[in-house]
A and B are shown apart, each in its own frame.
Chain A
Amino acid sequence: MAHVVNPDLVQDLKAFGARDIEACFNCGTCTAICPLSKDGVVFPRRIIRYVQTGMEHRLLCSLEPWLCYYCGECSETCPRNAQPGELMMAARRYLTAAYDWTGLGRRLYLDVRVELGAILGLAALVVALFVLLGGPMTTELTPEGGVQLNTFAPAHVIELLDWAVGGVLAVLLLSNVWRMHRWIVGGETGLKVPLGAYARGLSTLLIHFFTQKQWLGCTPGLTRITTTRWFKHFCIFAGYVTMFVLIVMFLRWFQTDAVHPVWHPQRWVGYMATGGLLYGVSNALIGRWRRREELHKHSHPSDWIFLVLLWLTTVTGILVHIFRIHGLPHATYITYVIHLAVLVPMLVIEVPFSKWAHLAYRPVAIYLQQVVQQARAAQAANPSPQPQPA
C-alpha cells in the first residue's frame, strides 16, 4: 500500500525537541558514522525519513530510537547540521508519549506548565497528607540520640503507601510496554512469534536492564571506563535501583529510629547508593549546564525536570539521614516531608509518562529486537504454506 505523505509529523517531532531535521538531505552520513547502527537496525537516517515523510505508523513500530545512546557522532558529522542525534532523542520522547495510552504523557511533554503544575499539585497533596495524617512530632530522642522518625511517619504506613503508588505506576508502565510490544512485533506484517522466542530472550532483557552494556558500543575502545558517559549513568542507575529496592522492599529495615554503627549495611549501602546518585546526577546537571558534549547541547524541559527532581530527592534523603542521626527532630520531619513531596511527583510523573520510562523501554527494545530476529529466522526456516504478498 502506498504511503500518503504527511508533512505535519515533522512539526510534531519538533515540538518534542527535534531541531533542524528538515535540513537533512538523506545522505546517510549519520548512519555510516553511527557505531551502533548495523544491518537490520539502520539509524538514524531511516527514522529521519519516517519523520520527514510523515510515516507515523512506521515510527511507532520502530525500536531504533531505543537502540541509540546519543554519542553525538551523527550530529557532529552531519553535513547539513540537521542534528540527527537530537532527532533520535525527540523520537524517544515522542514514543514515550505515544506508548502512554492515557494521553497524559503527551500533554506533560508538550507543555511545561502542565508538567510543573502536576508536580506542584502532587507535592501539595503529599504535604497535605502529612499535615492531616502525620504522627506526633516528638522531640524525644532515642537512646543513641537519634530522632524518632517512625513516630512521625511510621515505616509500615509509608510502606503501604509505597506499594499502593508503586502498584498503580507499575500497571501504567507495563500497559505502556505492552503497547510498545504490540507495535514493534505487530508492525511486521505476517510475523508470527513463537512463545519460545519470548522465553529465550528473557536473559537478554535482564542483562541489558542491569548493565546497559549496549551503551559501551558508543565508546572508542581505549577510553577509561570511569570517564565514559555509561559509567556516570551507571552510577545513577545503580544508586537509584538500590534505593528503590531498599525503600519498596526493605523500608522497615532501612527507615529505623535506631542509629546503627557506620559499618552496619543499612548505613554503608545507603551511603554508596546516594553517593552514586549524587555523583551521577550532579555530573549530568553540570553537563547540561555547560553544553559541551553533543548529548548535552540541547535540553528539553523534561530533561531538566527529571534531573532536578532526582537531585533534590537524593539531597533531601541525605539531609533526613544527617538530621536524624544528629538528633534534630524538626529539621528531620520537615526535610522528610520535603523529600517525599519531591519523590512522589518524580515517580508519578516520570515513571509511566516521561523520561524515567526509558528504564523499561530500552532493555525491552533490545529484547524485542532479539525476539523479532528469532521469529524471522524461524519463519525463514519454516516458510508458511500461504502465498506471500508480493
Chain B
Amino acid sequence: MSRSSAQPDSGPASPRIGVYVCQCGGNISDVVDTATVAKTAALIPGVALSKVHAFMCSEPGQAMIAEDIRNEHLNRVVVASCSPFLHELTFRTAVHRGGLNPYLYEHVNIREQVSWAHHGDPAGATVKAIRLVAAAVHRLRHVEPLEEIRLPNHRRALVIGGGIAGMKAAGDLAGKGLDVVLVEQSATLGGRVNELSTLFPAEESAAPLVRRLNDDLQAHPRVVVLTETVVKAVSGFMGNYDVMVGPAPAAAGAASGADPQEGRHLTVGTIIVATGYDYYRPAEGEYGFQRHPQVIPMPEFITLLARASGETLEWQGRPVRRLGFMHCVGSRQIEGVHPPQPDGRVNDYCSRVCCTTALHQALAAKRRFPRMAVFDFHQDIRTYGRGHEDYYLRASQAGIMFFRFHGDDPPVVEPGSNGTPIQVRLKDWLTWGEEVVAPLDLLVLAVGMTPRDNRGLVSLLKLPVGADRFLQEVHPKLRPVETAVNGILLAGTAQAPMAIDETLASASAAAAKAAVLLAHDEVHLEPFKARVDPEKCVGCGVCFAQCAYDGALVREEGQREGAPITRAKVNPGLCVGCGACVAVCPTRAIDLQGWTLNQFEAMVDGLLSAPQPVAATNSNPVSDGRTH
C-alpha cells in the first residue's frame, strides 16, 4: 500500500482530527474498553483529541463535538458509535453546526460490528474498534469538503392513468398550485369505477363520484388531460424527466389517414403511476366458469342487477330464484390447489374488496328481489373497512345463508339435480364439515384484483414489481407511495388491491409526496457520485459497458493532445454512486466523490498501522470529556 504515499495528499496540511467514542449506555462499553480506544486513538497521527461519552448522540454529546470544533480548531471528526443508518446524519449535522463542512466526518460502527458481534472477546473487540477508528482517521486525512448536488427541478407532475386514483392525484396537485399532465389511454376518465353502480359503504352512485372528480379537474387551468394517450418513452431523473407521450395504439389506428403522430415531449419533475388493476379472469372450469353459462364473474352481475327490471331477476331468460356468491375467486390461492398464473405463481394475496362487494351485491339483490334465496360461500369474511362489517350483519339479518369452505378443499360446481341448472357442493365447516349441496340458478364469482399487464411502462420507468406482480413501494410503512426510482410515485390499485376510499387516500398521499418533491426550484442530491477527471480520461469507453443506469454516463466530444476524443462525463442526476465505472477505468480517471480510491487505500493503511492498545488508567472517569 505504498501507492497512497506516492499520491499527493489531498487533505489539509495539518489535519486536526477529533475522535469521539460512544459507550451507548453500556451497549458498547460493556464489551469494548472505550477509554482504551480513546486513549489509543490519540496516538494516531493527525488526531488532535479523543473523548468518550455515555451517549454521544445526546444533545450534550453533539454540543461537545460542535464546541471542540470551534475551540480546538478541529478540521475533521470521527464518531465511533452505532450503525451509520441510525446516526450518521445526526453527527454530520453536529459537525456542520460546529462550522465544518458536513462531509469532513467519518462514522465508525463499533456497536453492531464490534460490541454486539464480539461480546465474548472484549480484548479482541477493543483491538478491532481501535483498528476501525484508525482506518477512519487515515481516510479523513484524504477527504475534501463536498457540496450537495443541486439540479433544476421542473415543477410539473405527470400522472399516468385516468381512473379515480389518477384523477384524484391530479386534482390534488393542481389544488396545490402545481402543473399536472394527466394521460389516460382510453377515451374517458373514471376507469373501472365507471362499471360500478352503487358503492359501499355509503351507497352513493358511482357516476356522480366520477363526475365530481372530473369537475375538480376541469376547474383547474393547471391540469392538462390527454385522453387516448400513452407514454412512449421516458428519460431523465427526478426533477428532470423527459417523457414522450403519443396516441394510444387503438386511437392511433382510428386516426383517419393522418400522419402517425410523433410523440409529444413533456418535461416533468415527478411521475405518479396510477394504472389501476384488472379483474381476475377465472380459468376455464374454475368453479364451472365457461362450462356452465350460469356461472358469471362479479362485474357482469353488477351490470345485470343494475339493469334488472320487473318482478324477478332473469338470467338468459330463466328466473333466478336461487343466487349464489363464491368468495376468493382468484385470491388467497393455494399452490397445488389452484391453477397457477402465467408466471407460475398463484395469487396468494387477499384482494380485500371482494368480500364486501359480494355482501353488498347479495344484499342489493335480496332487497330488490325479497323472495330470492341468496347463498354465500366463503373461506372467511374479511369485511375490514369502516362500515363494511355492517353489510355482513345486514346480509345475515336479511336471511342470506352462509357456508364456509376450507381453502384447500374448494367447492365444486356441477349440473343441478334438484330442478336448478347448477348446484354447488361443498364441505361446510359451519356444519362440522358436512357435505352440503346448494341448488342454484346463478352463481356469481367474486373475482379478485390482479395487477395490470404493464410490461411496457414497467420497463420504461424501471418500476420495481413485487412478488405478487403489483408495483412495489420502497417501504410499506415509512415510504408507502414512493418507488425505489427517485421521483416516481404510486397511487391506487397499481400498487395493491384497494377499495375506493383507500384508492383515493393513496392518490392524495402520492399527490402530497409529489408536492414535496416539487416544492423547490432545485433538487438536492447527495454528492456521492462518480466524477471523471478529463485530464486522465483517454476515451477508451470501458466504463459505459459497466454502467447499469441509463444516462448516468454521457459521452462528451473533446480534444486530447490535438486529437478528437470521446470522453465520459457523469450526469449526477442519474448516477447512483455504485462505483462500477471506477473499478474498470484503466487510467484511474474516475473516482467516487467522498469514497475515492485514495481514501480506501488510506483506510487499509490505517487498519494495518493501528497502534497497540494503551491501557487507560482506572482513575479516568467516564464521559468527563477530558482530552487524552
- Which residues of A approach B to under 8 Å, CB–CB? 1-5, 7, 10, 20, 22-26, 49, 52-53, 55, 80
What CA separation (Å) do A5 and B416 show in the bound complex? 13
Residues of B within 8 A of A53 (CB): 401, 403, 428, 431, 436
What CA separation (Å) do A137 and B263 show in the bound complex? 118
* B1: interface (CB < 8 Å): no
Once the chains bind, are B425 and A2 in contact (CB under 8 Å)?
A: yes
Given A52-B401, A53-B428, A53-B431, are A4 and B437 also a contact pair (CB < 8 Å)? yes
Once the chains bind, are A22 and B438 in contact (CB under 8 Å)?
A: no
Segment of B189-197, B289-297, B392-400 engaged in the interface with chain A: B392-400
* B237: interface (CB < 8 Å): no
What CA separation (Å) do A53 and B403 show in the bound complex? 9
Given A7-B373, A26-B430, A52-B401, are A2 and B435 also a contact pair (CB < 8 Å)? yes
Contact mask for chain B residues 416-441; partner A; CB cutoff 8 A; 1 contact, 0 none: 00100000010010110011111100
Once the chains bind, are A5 and B439 in contact (CB under 8 Å)?
A: yes
Chain A residue at smallest Cβ distance from B423: A4
| Shortest Cβ gap from A269 to chain B (Å) | 51
Most chain B CB within 10 A, of A1, A2, A25, A26, is at A2
Residues of B within 8 A of A20 (CB): 397
Once the chains bind, are A22 and B396 in contact (CB under 8 Å)?
A: yes
Given A22-B399, A25-B392, are A4 and B439 also a contact pair (CB < 8 Å)? yes
Chain A residue at smallest Cβ distance from B438: A5
Residues of A within 8 A of B428 (CB): 53
* B200: interface (CB < 8 Å): no
Given A2-B437, A53-B431, are A7 and B401 also a contact pair (CB < 8 Å)? yes
What CA separation (Å) do A1 and B417 show in the bound complex? 14
Residues of A within 8 A of B399 (CB): 7, 10, 22
What CA separation (Å) do A52 and B425 show in the bound complex? 17
Most chain A CB within 10 A, of B392, B400, B403, B430, is at B430
A–B pairs, 9, beta carbons within 8 Å: A1-B435, A3-B437, A4-B436, A5-B403, A23-B393, A53-B401, A53-B428, A53-B431, A53-B436
9 shortest interchain CB distances as A-B pairs: A2-B435, A7-B373, A2-B437, A26-B430, A5-B438, A22-B399, A23-B396, A23-B397, A4-B437
Chain A residue at smallest Cβ distance from B396: A23
Given A3-B434, A5-B439, are A80 and B396 also a contact pair (CB < 8 Å)? yes
* B349: interface (CB < 8 Å): no
Given contacts A2-B436, A20-B397, A25-B396, 8 further A-B contacts (CB under 8 A): A2-B425, A4-B418, A4-B436, A5-B375, A49-B431, A53-B401, A53-B428, A53-B436
Q: Which secondary structure dominates chain B's binding surface?
A: strand
| Shortest Cβ gap from B541 to chain A (Å) | 70
Residues of A within 8 A of B437 (CB): 2-5
| Shortest Cβ gap from A80 to chain B (Å) | 7
Residues of B within 8 A of A55 (CB): 431
Residues of B within 8 A of A49 (CB): 430-431
Contact mask for chain B residues 377-402; partner A; CB cutoff 8 A; 1 contact, 0 none: 00001000000000011001111111
Once the chains bind, are B396 and A5 in contact (CB under 8 Å)?
A: no
What CA separation (Å) do A55 and B437 show in the bound complex? 12
| Shortest Cβ gap from B381 to chain A (Å) | 8
Residues of B within 8 A of A10 (CB): 399
Once the chains bind, are B402 and A25 in contact (CB under 8 Å)?
A: yes
Residues of A within 8 A of B396 (CB): 22-25, 80
Contact mask for chain B residues 215-232; partner A; CB cutoff 8 A; 1 contact, 0 none: 000000000000000000
Once the chains bind, are B397 and A5 in contact (CB under 8 Å)?
A: no
Once the chains bind, are B401 and A3 in contact (CB under 8 Å)?
A: no
What CA separation (Å) do A23 and B400 show in the bound complex? 9
Residues of B within 8 A of A23 (CB): 393, 396-397
| Shortest Cβ gap from B538 to chain A (Å) | 77
What CA separation (Å) do A67 and B590 show in the bound complex? 89
Q: Which secondary structure dominates chain A's binding surface?
A: loop
What CA separation (Å) do A25 and B395 show in the bound complex? 10
Once the chains bind, are A5 and B392 in contact (CB under 8 Å)?
A: no
Residues of A within 8 A of B436 (CB): 2-5, 53
Residues of A within 8 A of B434 (CB): 3
Residues of A within 8 A of B392 (CB): 25
- Which residues of B approach A to under 8 Å, CB–CB? 373, 375, 381, 392-393, 396-403, 418, 425, 428, 430-431, 434-439
Residues of A within 8 A of B400 (CB): 22
What CA separation (Å) do A10 and B401 show in the bound complex? 10
Chain A residue at smallest Cβ distance from B417: A4
Residues of A within 8 A of B439 (CB): 4-5
Chain A residue at smallest Cβ distance from B397: A23
| Shortest Cβ gap from B613 to chain A (Å) | 66
| Shortest Cβ gap from A374 to chain B (Å) | 24
Once the chains bind, are B430 and A5 in contact (CB under 8 Å)?
A: no
What CA separation (Å) do A55 and B438 show in the bound complex? 12
What CA separation (Å) do A49 and B403 show in the bound complex? 10
What CA separation (Å) do A49 and B399 show in the bound complex? 13
| Shortest Cβ gap from A136 to chain B (Å) | 63
Chain B residue at smallest Cβ distance from A14: B399
| Shortest Cβ gap from A27 to chain B (Å) | 10
| Shortest Cβ gap from A213 to chain B (Å) | 30
| Shortest Cβ gap from B323 to chain A (Å) | 11
Residues of B within 8 A of A5 (CB): 375, 401, 403, 436-439
Once the chains bind, are A22 and B425 in contact (CB under 8 Å)?
A: no
What CA separation (Å) do A52 and B397 show in the bound complex? 12
Chain A residue at smallest Cβ distance from B439: A4
Chain B residue at smallest Cβ distance from A24: B396
Chain A residue at smallest Cβ distance from B394: A23
What CA separation (Å) do A49 and B434 show in the bound complex? 11
Residues of A within 8 A of B435 (CB): 1-3
What CA separation (Å) do A177 and B49 show in the bound complex? 102
Chain A residue at smallest Cβ distance from B430: A26
| Shortest Cβ gap from B327 to chain A (Å) | 14
What CA separation (Å) do A339 and B398 show in the bound complex? 47
What CA separation (Å) do A80 and B396 show in the bound complex? 9
Chain B residue at smallest Cβ distance from A28: B430
What CA separation (Å) do A22 and B425 show in the bound complex? 22
What CA separation (Å) do A84 and B262 show in the bound complex? 71
| Shortest Cβ gap from A189 to chain B (Å) | 14
Residues of B within 8 A of A25 (CB): 381, 392, 396, 402
Residues of B within 8 A of A1 (CB): 435
Residues of A within 8 A of B431 (CB): 3, 49, 53, 55
What CA separation (Å) do A80 and B434 show in the bound complex? 24
| Shortest Cβ gap from A46 to chain B (Å) | 8
Residues of B within 8 A of A3 (CB): 431, 434-437
What CA separation (Å) do A23 and B401 show in the bound complex? 10
What CA separation (Å) do A343 and B430 show in the bound complex? 46
Most chain B CB within 10 A, of A1, A7, A55, A80, is at A7
| Shortest Cβ gap from A26 to chain B (Å) | 5
What CA separation (Å) do A3 and B403 show in the bound complex? 13
Most chain B CB within 10 A, of A1, A5, A26, is at A5
Chain B residue at smallest Cβ distance from A22: B399
What CA separation (Å) do A10 and B397 show in the bound complex? 12
Most chain A CB within 10 A, of B392, B418, B434, is at B434
| Shortest Cβ gap from B319 to chain A (Å) | 16
What CA separation (Å) do A49 and B429 show in the bound complex? 11
Once the chains bind, are A22 and B397 in contact (CB under 8 Å)?
A: yes
| Shortest Cβ gap from B87 to chain A (Å) | 49
| Shortest Cβ gap from A37 to chain B (Å) | 15
What CA separation (Å) do A5 and B377 show in the bound complex? 13
Residues of B within 8 A of A2 (CB): 425, 435-437
| Shortest Cβ gap from A346 to chain B (Å) | 37
| Shortest Cβ gap from A40 to chain B (Å) | 13
Once the chains bind, are B401 and A80 in contact (CB under 8 Å)?
A: no
Residues of A within 8 A of B397 (CB): 20, 22-23
What CA separation (Å) do A308 and B397 show in the bound complex? 34
Residues of B within 8 A of A24 (CB): 396
Residues of B within 8 A of A80 (CB): 393, 396
What CA separation (Å) do A26 and B378 show in the bound complex? 13
Chain B residue at smallest Cβ distance from A4: B437
Residues of B within 8 A of A22 (CB): 396-400
